[in-house]
Amino acid sequence: MIGAFNLTRLAAAEMSSLGPMERGERGVLINVSSINAFDGPVGTAAKAGVAGMTITIARDLAPRGIRACAIAPGSFETPMLMSAPQEFLDDLLTLIPFPNDRFGDPGDFASLALHICENPMLNGEVIRLDGAVRHSQHR
């Protein structure tokens, strides 16, 4: 959380010094949270903090022409996840309503990040990128 805040603070300071683009925009900040920010498992307070600060950062930086969003990914095909036992991976995949034939991949994440940059109305949002997973439905 401290790292995300400090990087946001430093990037916003640099963006503020730039000349405005069309419609006054000076940049877009995209932080990474997690779907765990919403379900509150133990050890995920930092992800919840990143999600929580997104709207405030967006409103605070709006007068400078800087937007802020966060992406909250679910299960993505990362080296850490893929090192888990196959049985765990198979069970985890069944929790994803659709598409449920694979985990997220870097292209999915990059596509959303690009869309955030291109769509000026996306500001202050934490966007879940998880195929509709909701852990509470399985408790």
pLDDT digit string (tens) for 63-113?
Answer: 999 999 999 999 999 999 999 999 999 999 999 999 889 999 999 999 999
pTM above 0.85, yes or no: yes
Surface-to-core class of residue 134, CB atoms within 10 Å of its CB (0-12 exposed, 13-18 middle, 19+ buried): middle
Mean pLDDT, rounded, of the chain: 93
Mean pLDDT value of segment 45-70? 96
The model's confidence at residue 138, banded by pLDDT at 50, 70 and 90, is very low
Residue 130 DSSP class: S
Mean pLDDT value of segment 35-63? 91
Q: Give pLDDT, residue 42.
A: 80
* Domains: count for the chain: 1
Q: Is 77 left (phi over 0), alpha (psi -120 to 50) or beta?
A: beta
Where in the sequence is the domain holding 65, given as residue range(s)? 2-138
Nearest to 39 by CA among 139, 135, 132: 135
CATH number, domain containing residue 112 = 3.40.50.720
Give 37's contacts (C-beta < 8 A, 6+ positions apart). 44, 47, 48, 50, 51, 52, 72, 126
Q: State yes or no: cis peptide before 99, omega within 30 of 0.
A: yes
